[in-house]
Structure 1
């Protein structure tokens, strides 16, 4: 099985193909054309315009203040720097409160240049939104575990799924979002063993962030991958690739290689 990144533009069906081929997917966030161009050249498969921009770009304490306008602006900028990577855009807080709102927001983001939208959670209205979007030819990534838009309900940024009932909910939710039509699943801050179990049974590829080494791919926020101070506590799952990479381009290449070869994340980046 080859670990070489494909030269052609990455498509939604390519995500499942990579999984079948045993090739781990490398994903990073970006918020402008310059960094997007560097990540694209480094072989990153998926570039995410995340609502993390609220914290690392805008300086907020959470992702909640981010608007659809904000995401659309950064999607247009990032799209201008990409030729190969698949561009995914977050639906920000309450943009998916109803299927109709989700459709309006997702349409704007796809028209701005995204190839997929991501939404957090698996409650009834979230599953309804995934079904609604999927039925209208809009590719969707789900996001379970620590969902930053739920920070007020969680009482902070905490590992999810450690208790038996919470782990059971995650197992059920992972299958439910795929059944609703999601083509990709991000698992954030989930115990490694649980993430591995979910990955084994998930019908769609999984992308981990603080979810151990056994997901089908990994994602980090660009600023974290570069070791930049975002003004927030540094999560356990973060690694500074710039320290050994020598340049931003070198750091991006080092990240991609470490993900592809299964060297990142290591045990020190995982939760029990």
Structure 2
């Protein structure tokens, strides 16, 4: 398999080839996804999906590095992007320190940061130091407490203009791509048309250059809540639950292990 790079992403945008992205948090699932995904995001969403947290804010840099190491161990093809967690880039010095940890302790290809206009300087500083950065704009899960919930962005004309201007600024300081979450589809389409770097959408319409979903959402494992933008491609929770039930039944009935499965 040929390794996907930042140059590959530029060519995808140039050739109007859609980018397939998904989250992963361990080597096992990464090995399954790697054949099909162009980008794998080690997202701080794991704090909600796999740690039963109400939001993404409590996960540490150490934990994100651990999971990024695991994903990198399972990947051969996909571009690996690691999430910088809440509190790890509140100023330039802290951002540089933690970005350096990701780059020296893992084999990730790039970093993702949730940003607004006041973080432009941080993105610029990281890019100048040689880090590949994908800013995340629109609905930002790390801001959920400050904003009082998860709110779609770009509904108002002034907010739409601000998002478009922000995307252009991020491109100008060297971002290699932009993740758009929960952005009105018309605004996401305008951003995609007006920047030369790829846009990856989640809940932001079909016109983005690529799409990303949290894997446990896409494959039906996280069933407590299904966002509007999620499509279930499998009923993973039911499949695994039934398999676990059969295993438990066999153990209790003393039919597992049999003689062929014993030493």
Say whether the fold is shared (TM-score over 0.5): yes
On the 8 A contact 1:55/1:230 being kept in 2, the answer is: no
Q: Which residue is equivalent to 1:253?
A: none
What is the TM-score of this pair, normalised by structure 1?
0.84
Q: Secondary structure at the match of 1:94?
A: coil
- Closer/same/farther in 2, CA of residues 89 and 230 from structure 1, 3 Å limit: farther
CA contact (8 A) 2:221 2:235 kept: no
Aligned to 2:218: 225
Correspondence list, 1:4-15, <5 A: 7-15=1-9
Asked if 1:170 is matched to 2:145, the reply is no
- 1:167 is displaced (CA, Å) by 0.8
Looking at structure 1, the residues matched to 222 and 144 of structure 2 have their Cα atoms a distance apart, in angstroms, of 21
| Count, aligned residues | 238
Contact 1:122–1:177 (8 Å) recurs in 2:
no
> Distance between the aligned counterparts of 1:130 and 1:218, measured in 2?
22
Contact 1:175 1:203 survives alignment (8 Å): no
Identify unmatched segments of 5+ residues in structure 2: 241-263
Q: Which range moved further: 154-163 or 222-231?
A: 222-231
CA positional deviation for 1:123: 2.6
Question: Residue 62 of structure 1 is aligned with which of 55, 59, 67?
Answer: 55
Match of 2:15 among 11, 21, 24: 21
Q: Which residue of 2 aligns with 1:235?
A: 227
What is the distance in 1 between the residues matched to 2:192 and 2:205? 11
The 3-state SS of whatever aligns with 1:242 is: coil
| Residues 182-221 of structure 1: pairs in structure 2 closer than 5 A | 182-221=175-214
Deviations 1:19-78 (A, max 9, x none): 11111000000000000000012x200000011011011111000001111100000011
- Report the TM-score, using the length of structure 2 for normalisation: 0.87
CA RMSD of aligned residues (A): 1.7
Larger radius of gyration: 2
Tell me which stretches of 4 or more aligned residues in structure 1 moved more than 4 Å: none
Higher relative contact order (CA 8 A, sep 6+): 1
5+ residue gaps, structure 1, are 1-6, 249-272
Q: Does 1:109 align with 2:105?
A: no
Please state how far the C-alpha of 1:241 moved relative to its aligned partner. Answer: 0.9
